[in-house]
């Protein structure tokens, strides 16, 4: 798992357990996998090639 998502999961798990919501932990683990997939996805890569991203627009200003 990506280190940033793994760190998020560790914090979320600790918080859920501290609140007595241990049943939440498996759901948070599934959410972490989904978050990693979302962060890894490149939605700007359409069939016509990468679209201009916000980052690119900011860099151009």
Under the binding rule (CB under 8 A), the answer on residue 17 touching other proteins is no
The Cα 34–Cα 60 span in angstroms is: 32
What's the DSSP call for residue 50?
A: E
H or E stretch including 59?
helix 54-60
Residues within window 22-61 making contact with other proteins, judged by CB under 8 A:
23-24, 27-28, 31, 34-35, 37-39, 41, 43-44, 46-47
Under the binding rule (CB under 8 A), the answer on residue 14 touching other proteins is no
Half-sphere exposure of 28 (CA within 13 A, CB side): 18
Query: Which residues would be at the binding site for other proteins (CB under 8 A)?
Result: 8, 12, 15-16, 21, 23-24, 27-28, 31, 34-35, 37-39, 41, 43-44, 46-47
């Amino acid at each position: 798992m990506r280190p940033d998502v793994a760190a998020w999961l560790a914090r979320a798990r600790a918080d859920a357990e501290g609140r007595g919501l241990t049943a939440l932990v498996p759901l948070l683990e599934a959410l972490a996998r989904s978050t990693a997939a979302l962060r890894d996805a490149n939605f700007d890569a359409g069939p016509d090639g990468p679209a201009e991203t916000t980052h690119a627009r900011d860099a151009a200003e």
